Structure 1
Amino acid sequence: MLDGLPQGEFAAILADPPWKFIVRSPKGEGRSPSQHYSVMPLPDIMALPVASVAARSCHLFLWTSAPYLPLSLKVMEAWGFNYSSIAFTWLKTNPREAGALMLDARSFHVGLGLTTRKNTEIVLLGRRGNPKRLSGAVRELIIAPRREHSRKPDETFDRIGQYCPGPYLEMFSRENRPGWTVAGNETGKFNGVAESAITQGREAA
C-alpha cells in the first residue's frame, strides 16, 4: 500500500504496485500476494496522483507480470504516461545459483502459471514529455536470484541510474536506497537483509 506521495517533481519513477491477483483455488489463495502484504484493487492503483509528482519530462518504470500486462498499460495511461517499451526483463535464478559462472536449465526458478510456468517478470517503460536518456548501452535482461517474496533485484536501480537522470522516486518501496526518495507503507522492510534469501538458498542446497 501507499501512504501518500512525497512532494517534488521526479524525472524517473519506479513502481511495483501491489496487484490484487485473482485466485482460482484454496491452494492458490495460500500463494497469493495478499498473504504477504496489503494489495490494492485496480481502480485504486489507477487513481494514484502520480502525474502530480512527475516532472514534465519523466520516465516511468512499472513492474508487472504477464497476466497483468493489459491492466498495467491502463495504469500507465491513467498516470499520464505513454507506453514506450519493455525496459527490463528479470530472469529469475534459484538462490543457490548466486554468483555462479555457468548456468543450465536447473539454475532457473520455475514459478506458477495458468498457461506456461513463469520464471520472468518485466518492467514496462513509459514516457511523459521528452525525457533524457543518458546512455544507449543499458541492457534489458537482468539475470538475478529470487529472494524474499516480491523483492526485486538491486541491479534494477543501477540500470535506471545509468539510463536516465533523477530525481528518482520509488513507489511501494521496501528498502531505503541512497539517491532515491521512497514511498510506501513497508519502506525499510528489507534494510540490512541484502543477502538473507540468497544465503538461505545456499544452505538449503
Structure 2
Amino acid sequence: MNLRPFPILPAPAFNLAPLQENHYGLAKIDPPWTFETYSENGKEKSAEQHYSCMSLDDIFALDIDRLAHRDGMWVWLYATAPMYDAARACFDKWNVKYVTQGVWVKMVKDGSRPTFGTGYVLRNCHEPFLIGKIGKPRIHSRNIRSAILEPRREHSRKPEQGYVEAAKMAGPYPKADIFAREQRIGWDAWGKETTKFNPQAEAEAA
C-alpha cells in the first residue's frame, strides 16, 4: 500500500525580525494606536500628526508570543485610556495572560503637579500600562511600584523610570523594546523610528 506523506507546511514568517524568537524575558510594547477624534483641535493633537498608526488587526497580528524565552516572558504594554479594551484584547490575541496594571502620571516639567491633557469627559494626565506574562517567568523584583510620576516629554516618548522598572522585571534575561524610538544599551529595539530620540537624531532635527 502506498501511503501519501503528510505535507509539512512551512512555518509562517516571523514578523518581528530581526528580533530573535524564543529569546526574551521581557517585551515592552508601545503600539501606534489609531484613535478616532471628533474635532479639528483633537486631530491636531492626535498620534497621526506625529507618526504612522496601525490598525488594531495589524497590532493583533504581531508575533509577540514567538519572542518568549522558554523560561517565560513578561509583557509590558502601554495603552491609552480610550484604547484600554483594545489593549486587553491584544493580550488575548498574543496568548498573554493578564497579571496587573500600572499608570504613568504625566507631570509638568518641574514635577510639581500633573499635566492638563486632552479628553472628552476627564482631562487625561496619565497613561496606563498592562503587565502580562507568557509561560511562568520568574519575579525578579518585588519593589516595583504601580505608579510612575515623571514629566511628559515629546509626543509618545515614554518615561525613563519605566525602562528602569522593566529591567528589574526582566532580571538577567534579554529585553525587547517594540515600537522603540530610542536605542538603549541592554535592549533590542524594533520599529521604524528606533533612533528618533537618540542624541544624534535629536541634534540633527534641531
**Counterpart in the other structure of 2:81:** 66
Structure with bigger helix share is 1
Alignment identity in percent? 34
Deviation at 1:4, TM superposition (A): 3.7
Equivalent of residue 90 in structure 2, options 58, 65, 75: 75
Equivalent of residue 27 in structure 1, options 35, 41, 44: 41
Alignment of 1:46-195 (within 5 A): 46-56=60-70, 57-86=72-101, 88-95=102-109, 97-98=110-111, 103=112, 107-165=113-171, 166-192=173-199
TM-score (norm. length: structure 2) = 0.85
RMSD of equivalent CA atoms = 1.9
**Bigger radius of gyration, 1 or 2?**
2
Please list every run of 5 or more consecutive structure 1 residues that lacks an aligned counterpart in the other structure.
Answer: 197-205
TM-score (norm. length: structure 1) = 0.85
Please list every run of 5 or more consecutive structure 2 residues that lacks an aligned counterpart in the other structure.
Answer: 1-14
Deviation at 1:195, TM superposition (A): 10
* SS across alignment from 1:44: helix
**Higher RCO (CA < 8 A, seq sep 6+):** 1
Q: What is the identity, as a one-letter code, of the residue corresponding to 1:134?
A: H
Structure 1 range deviating more: 176-185 or 48-57: 48-57
Distance 1:195-1:34 versus aligned 2 partners, 3 A rule: closer
> Deviation per CA, 1:71-126, whole angstroms, max 9, x where unpaired?
1011111111011100x31111112x15xxxx3xxx22010111111100011001
